[in-house]
Amino acid sequence: MKRTLGFVLAGIFLASIFSIIGMPATATAGPIKLTYANFPPVPTFPCVQMERWKKEVEKRTNGKVVIDTFPGGTLLKAKAIMDGVIAGTADIGNLCMAYQPGRFLITNAIALPLGLPNSEVASLVLWDLYKKYKPKAFDKVKVLTMFTSAPSNIMSKIPIRNLEELKGVPIRASGGAAQILKAWGANRVGMPMPETPEALQKGVVKGLFSSLEVMKDFKFAELCKYVTMTQTPVYPFAVVMNMDKWNSLPKDVQEVLDGLGTQQAAWTGVYMDKHVKKAMAWSKKKQGVKVFRLLKKEKAKWNKLLEPITADWIKRTKQKACPPRRLFGI
């Protein structure tokens, strides 16, 4: 009897020791802190979507996860985001895939002249494309979401109403958009978006080729008084996470992040499309920006010049044993 009581007491003693030892670990561990690197300045859409994602994650995990955001290239610059996340310099990063066209061959297909109507549709198509083909380029990271800009148009300091007026004009663009500009005969100048304001001010470029919300977010409407509507292509973005960090997260947190992937793509697309409209209303009303729509005959000429681009992408992708036929349903 005495021995049994001894065992019970010893058991209770050990149990309380374990719970005391166990307790401080959970009590002092606090929330899981994650860093999130982004390259453009705060008011731009990649950062707006980042802040929305942060808020959602913190809410849905009841504060179990806290995200520290680093906009404006303060933690990693535009072209260093992917490798910085792989190396663990940041836990999470948002990158524009168009800035490294060769590296993201499959997902950059979304930047071909496909006539995608808006950012909402393009973002969801891009996200599906990723989920379906899981390209090797992302093997070393966990992909949290993808989205695109709205379709691109030419913003310029000089009026551009036809191909002759575009010929040889230095215009800034990256990736698929740069290829399109080249096909139209412009002098495309490649650089990430954050370098564009200075290039415009110094006159290195006479315009840029991007979605139109930047007219307001970067105040480009103060310099570029003309817009030529081309409505193609979109620029693709990816939000990626360090693989070890992802693997270290509790299951319930992983589920919250996974559950946000499609919603975040759609939210960003909708925000982007609405924001473009607001930015253009402001540009026309407050900055006197003039918008050119190409005449039907002229537009047909511009479109014709783009035909080889998709054909060339299919050829290059085939050489790398990728599935271009299934991608385009041909």
DSSP secondary structure letters along 66-108: EEEEE-TTSSS-GGGHHHHHHHTSSSEEEEEGGGSTTTTTTGG
- Give min distance, CB of 192 to ligand DTR, in A: 6
Rg of the chain on CA atoms, in Å: 25
d(CA 145, CA 264): 7
d(CA 182, CA 263): 35
- Tokens 């036809």 -> residue: 162
- Give min distance, CB of 194 to ligand DTR, in A: 7
40 vs 84, beta carbon nearer ligand DTR: 40
145 vs 211, beta carbon nearer ligand DTR: 211
- Give min distance, CB of 326 to ligand DTR, in A: 27
79 vs 161, beta carbon nearer ligand DTR: 79
Which residues sit at the interface with ligand DTR, rule CB under 6 A?
A: 40, 44-46, 96, 149, 152, 174, 193, 210-211, 214, 235
- Tokens 């990626």 -> residue: 240
d(CA 311, CA 316): 9
User: In the complex, which residue's CB is closest to ligand DTR?
Assistant: 210
46 vs 84, beta carbon nearer ligand DTR: 46
- Give min distance, CB of 213 to ligand DTR, in A: 6
268 vs 317, beta carbon nearer ligand DTR: 268
d(CA 281, CA 259): 35
d(CA 310, CA 313): 5
- Give min distance, CB of 154 to ligand DTR, in A: 12
- Give min distance, CB of 156 to ligand DTR, in A: 14
172 vs 245, beta carbon nearer ligand DTR: 172
153 secondary structure, DSSP code = E
